[in-house]
A and B are shown apart, each in its own frame.
Chain A
Amino acid sequence: MIQKILIANRGEIALRIVRACRELGIKTLAVYSEADVQSLHVQLADEAICIGGPKSSDSYLRADRIISAAEIADVDAIHPGYGFLSENAKFAEQCESCNIKFIGPKSKSIKMMGDKAVAKDTVRKAAVPIVPGSDGPVETEAEAIKAARKIGYPVIIKAVAGGGGRGMRIAHNDISFAKEFHVARNEAEKAFGNGAVYIEKYIEKPRHIEFQILADSHGKVLHLGERDCSVQRRHQKLIEESPSPFLRADLRKRMGKAAVRAAEAAEYENAGTIEFLVDAKGDFYFIEMNTRIQVEHPVTEEVTGIDLIKQQIRITNGEKLDFDQGDIKFEKHAIECRINAEDPARNFAPSPGTIGLYYSPGGHGVRVDSHVYGGYTIPPYYDSMIGKLICFGSTRKVALERAYRALSEYIIRGIKTTIPLHKAIMSDPTFIEGKATTAYMDDFLSRTPPDLFS
């Protein structure tokens, strides 16, 4: 029986985990860097241990200090959140060998799905459609160009150890391919310490539609529907919604079944997400599996009514999922706007600093997941996301209008945020009509004057 959980993360997700633990009567231990002493979850947790200096590499990525803290405070389990060590198979293994439960899948599933080429191969064998590509990494330029011609241009060159939209280059012909191939390898080596790349067909203007998976340790694997995350800038998601305005019931059913098969092929346990690209014809292709809880999990929580963090803890406790696929209902439409401390009028320049007046929206169908407050200073060492606004209602129209209303009420003074950008998107006809693909943001920004956001 888990009685104490160490939260190996920070910001809004750490607060989210503290809240779930509180409701379950589980004690919380926050580990934090010196830059996060004033963080809300550190103040709210039952216990707190400082694990290092401000830089992530000196704190949140220090597996040794985190496990040391877990041992001296006698915790039963560690929740890694998202990012940081959440998809670090070695960290999960260390927890396993120290007899500390890792709230997530087994380390072998993380390893399997962490290598993008292995992941594709694994799900392909489970009859899950994958993007046509090289079978595994390509070693030489000659091999790579041969693969590119076989697949047919345009192609995308991806880092084997990449993910989260990083380490990717597109080529439209032989000439640009040679250059992009070498650039991609160099970038991959620098960013991930592994220069291996593979080639895939580049699907033009696809929608990014992902399926939420929950799997217990007794063999039950379910999906909780999709999230459409097509509104992205430089491969970073800005807005996520569910259901997808593009999917019809039959395609949803087929994709849901494929997502479950993919998770089963990975011998998956706990919460995870299968990501697909969907083209205009409705053909879908597996791109990767995220073996962790995701930023946008609240969208699924509001649509289905299922608390994903609590389910993660229950699954780690060895409990069976007490519902079946047919019990999961998709009752609402939900849309999430990621609020970042960035200035959309100045090319999204980061805007750390101290928040003055802070007023978050409320009312029917409005949820705010944020760790910031009036007087809080955003440290410059971490990512710029300061909160998530999730609005939901009985139809997509209600959810969108509600999001616009809530964004209009939201006051964050002292820093620049992406709130005005989200308001503009909520009023944009292309988005309102449900026509946004992954090409949407570039198009929207090119036809929208930047001073609309100031």
Chain B
Amino acid sequence: MLMHTPPHMLVEAPRPAASAAPDTMPAATLTAVNAAPDEPGVSYIKSPMVGTFYRSASPESPPFVEIGAKIEEKTVICIIEAMKIMNEIQAETKGSVLEVLVENGQPVEYGQRLYKIKVG
């Protein structure tokens, strides 16, 4: 579900110059991060919860998926830790991974794009 914001309704977020520390969530991240227009044949796997994103099951394990990996609906593509519980997130789509959009250990919000997928 993509958020379409008509240009005339965008309110410019007043951003005081040096206030945003790298590990804080800037105000209204969702519009900025998800602003890229749809490309045909491309979809995005979005976070279904609020938490911390991990690319692998543990620090020693290899990532669940790498760029180019083929995925199915039930493929586990990442873990999101929320309230001390490690939630395995399934792809819910079929295709291959084009891009990884977040970093290991990064806090993510609901709806945030995690992976760019080539559909099919």
Contacts and interface: CB of A to CB of B under 8 A. Distances in A.
Interface of A: 29-30, 34, 37-38, 40, 42-53, 59, 64-69, 71-73, 98, 354, 373, 375-377
B27 A42 contact: yes
B61 interface: no
Contacts of A354: 9
B83 A30 contact: no
30 contacts: A30-B27, A34-B1, A34-B110, A34-B111, A37-B3, A37-B30, A38-B10, A38-B11, A43-B13, A43-B27, A46-B24, A47-B25, A49-B50, A49-B109, A50-B29, A50-B111, A51-B109, A53-B1, A53-B110, A64-B49, A67-B83, A68-B51, A71-B83, A72-B50, A72-B52, A72-B107, A73-B24, A73-B107, A98-B83, A375-B8
Nearest to A50: B109
| Chain B, interface residues (CB within 8 Å), range | 20 to 34
A376 B5 CA distance: 12
Nearest to A98: B83
Nearest to A69: B50
Contact of B31 (A37, A40, A73, A375): A37
Contact of B19 (A34, A46, A72, A377): A46
Contacts of A48: 25-29
Nearest to B31: A37
Nearest to B106: A72
Interface of B: 1, 3, 5, 8-11, 13-14, 19, 24-31, 49-52, 82-83, 107, 109-112
Contacts of B51: 68, 72
A50 B27 contact: no
A388 B2 CA distance: 33
A73 B25 contact: yes
Contacts of A64: 49, 82-83
Given A64-B82, A68-B49, A73-B25, A38 B5 contact: yes
Contacts of A377: 9
Ranked 10 nearest A-B pairs via Cβ: A72-B107, A68-B50, A68-B82, A48-B27, A50-B109, A49-B109, A65-B50, A47-B25, A43-B13, A50-B30
Contacts of B9: 38, 354, 375-377
A23 to B, nearest CB: 16
Contacts of A34: 1, 3, 30, 110-111
Contact of B28 (A37, A72, A98, A375): A37
A69 B49 CA distance: 10
Given A44-B14, A66-B50, 7 more contacts: A30-B27, A50-B30, A52-B110, A52-B111, A65-B49, A72-B107, A373-B11
Contacts of B5: 37-38
A50 B14 contact: no
Contacts of A51: 50, 109-110
Contacts of B1: 34, 53
A70 B103 CA distance: 20
A69 B25 CA distance: 10
A42 to B, nearest CB: 6
A371 to B, nearest CB: 12
Contact of A69 (B11, B109, B111): B109
Contacts of A40: 11
A53 B5 CA distance: 15
B104 to A, nearest CB: 14
> Which of B1, B14, B50, B82 has the most chain A CB atoms inside 10 A of its CB?
B50
> Which of B8, B11, B29 has the most chain A CB atoms inside 10 A of its CB?
B11
Nearest to B47: A50
B24 A47 contact: yes
Contacts of B27: 30, 42-48
Given A34-B3, A375-B9, A50 B26 contact: no
B47 to A, nearest CB: 9
> Which of A34, A59, A98 has the most chain B CB atoms inside 10 A of its CB?
A34
A377 to B, nearest CB: 7
Contacts of B8: 375
A202 B8 CA distance: 53
